[in-house]
Chains A and B, each alone.
Chain A
């Protein structure tokens, strides 16, 4: 029966399309969105555009130039939010920066987990902040591109109250269009990923009288830290 439905649908589609085209058109060879200088102001350096756009959709942005600076900034965010259970991914950048170790050292009383226990889902459920790296940043919309992998579960950026992202300046692309070839490449090259997600700001809704409310089902807070190469040592 299942095979029959498939054949019937495809046959019907082919037969009915054969009656011809009413109004055809051809796609312009290349299309590029042209925008006014106001938003996003693509004349500016991409990192500034990213900051502006992310802030406008309700995220926070901080540029850091060293591991110490990052630790300091992370600690402040976690202190302010009063996070008691912090879950951290095992992605290379996060490991390299020793985020989990540093957080554990500076946050007295908080539990920092790298999700390597026997029941990582249980830890994810009780986490109030999740720390991850990301694949790319997209300046024009202030978007973060996440890819699930054995090192970073999908729930880590979804279940906790706050999502904290650590990225580097090299991951930044000016537009989504310019990022697509890379995205496609990753898809083919490293297939151990069930889902790619573009995240732009915290979870939001306007379903009640069009009033904007942040933090419906996903995180209410989104904090992004971007490591830049500093010219002068701090």
Chain B
């Protein structure tokens, strides 16, 4: 996974100053949260539903190896070709191999985070194969040459005017900023591509071990077209997407649509059983399922972090995150932005490369509160901070300050002397400054003045 999270701080510093962008992000995320809250309200036992979903995911992960084998067996029996990929490169190679065999020149893609993760479009372009994103948001982002801004609504950072200009520029259509018109333009451009493409590539929200089905959840119908019209369909799924039974799906559908878009169910849920059956008029001749590891199996070794693999990619934690709302999706420098991305990215890349991400959180816990599968996101971030310190990824100055602070806090005498000292010192500063100029710290945070009297002193006065 190519990530540029090292620049998180500098990018965030810039973003914080862009007030109009902040307003847009805030509006969009709030809109999503309100829609989600409305539909969650009419489930009286929502907490029970979350708990059920969490346990189902936990159980799936605990028996992952067995479920993957079951999935492979049943999918193969249905006529699906199952491939395994240890790394992003291997997954891309599988796709390229299939594409070469078919002499494919045009590939349509429906929205898939995993394909972003492995930079598939890039790999295919190097092969000289045109690859077109067909989800409206992804299409916009692809035209602009950017990464998705959000897991479920990738182009939410762009205004309708931005998109109008982009379409006029890149597609040579007359300028319009009307969402209905823009959507129509995209429909026409992409319909052509659908009809011509030799291969359709999709992700998948779930794979059912018991039946060998691949499940795709969407609203636009582009995934349905992707898996129906081209002669070959390739689905790429992270290994954590497997669930045991078909009956478990109703729980996940209920919880995913509500959390992601505030719908009770999405417009379309496709359950792919296999290639075109005898007598059928349409559907692909070949269906390939690529099961991607790319670091996921290593995450399992950390019992605490393991639960990041429960994530169903609804994007709800992004919408409620006070940090995401200010800095937006691109600042994280990862395909997976927001709180869950900050927990996932350091594990996928390395903690060193993404060491700022666990700190991109106020630890307020709204992410954990809204997570439909109850991932304890902010505690996982805290855990990663701890690991970062243990691996000595923090800078020397910070380590010294913290050590000094620990020393003082552990010793009552020392604490009293130090606080007295600080109080005396602050008296020399101009009275109008309500915060203290502590180096580095107060560049982006307040360090409030110490109160003139300590609590103990006040207490004594009251007693007297």
Residues of A whose CB lies within 8 Å of any CB of B are: 2, 5-6, 8-10, 12-17, 19-28, 31, 33-36, 38-39, 53, 57, 115, 120-121, 124-125, 140-141, 143, 148-150, 153-155, 158, 175-177, 180-181, 183-184, 187, 191-211, 213, 215-219
Contact = CB atoms under 8 A, between A and B. Distances in A.
B182 A208 contact: yes
Interface string B195-207: 1000000000000
A36 B300 contact: no
B64 interface: yes
Interface residues of B, number: 102
A192 B278 contact: yes
A2 B82 CA distance: 10
A121 B281 contact: yes
27 contacts: A5-B90, A12-B297, A12-B298, A13-B239, A22-B303, A25-B51, A26-B55, A120-B281, A143-B265, A150-B277, A155-B228, A155-B229, A176-B250, A176-B253, A180-B250, A181-B247, A194-B272, A194-B275, A195-B270, A196-B270, A198-B270, A203-B268, A206-B153, A207-B136, A208-B163, A216-B221, A217-B224
A86 B366 CA distance: 51
Interface stretch (B42-50, B394-402, B407-415): B42-50
Contacts of A38: 42
Contacts of A31: 48-49, 52, 251
Nearest to B226: A217
A81 B158 CA distance: 34
A38 B38 CA distance: 12
A158 B200 CA distance: 16
Given A194-B274, A206-B261, A210-B156, A158 B225 contact: yes
A28 B52 CA distance: 7
Nearest to B24: A209
A209 B53 CA distance: 31
B442 interface: no
Contacts of A201: 267
Majority-rule SS of A interface residues:
loop
Contacts of B32: 210
B68 interface: yes
B54 interface: yes
A35 B46 CA distance: 9
Contacts of A8: 86
B423 interface: no
Nearest to A25: B55
Contacts of A121: 281-282
A175 to B, nearest CB: 8
B219 A203 contact: yes
A124 B282 contact: yes
A207 B44 CA distance: 30
B384 interface: no
Given A34-B43, A35-B44, A176-B253, A210 B31 contact: yes
The 6 closest A-B pairs by CB, nearest first: A218-B221, A150-B279, A207-B137, A16-B300, A22-B303, A217-B221
A195 B42 contact: no
Interface stretch (B6-14, B185-193, B351-359): B185-193
Given A125-B195, A192-B280, A194-B274, A9 B86 contact: yes
Given A10-B68, A16-B301, A216-B186, A197 B62 contact: no
Interface in B376-425: none
B368 to A, nearest CB: 13
Q: Which of A13, A15, A193, A217 has the most CB of B within 10 A?
A: A217
Contacts of A209: 28, 156, 159-160, 179
Nearest to B180: A213
A218 B220 contact: yes
Interface in B241-258: 246-247, 249-251, 253-254
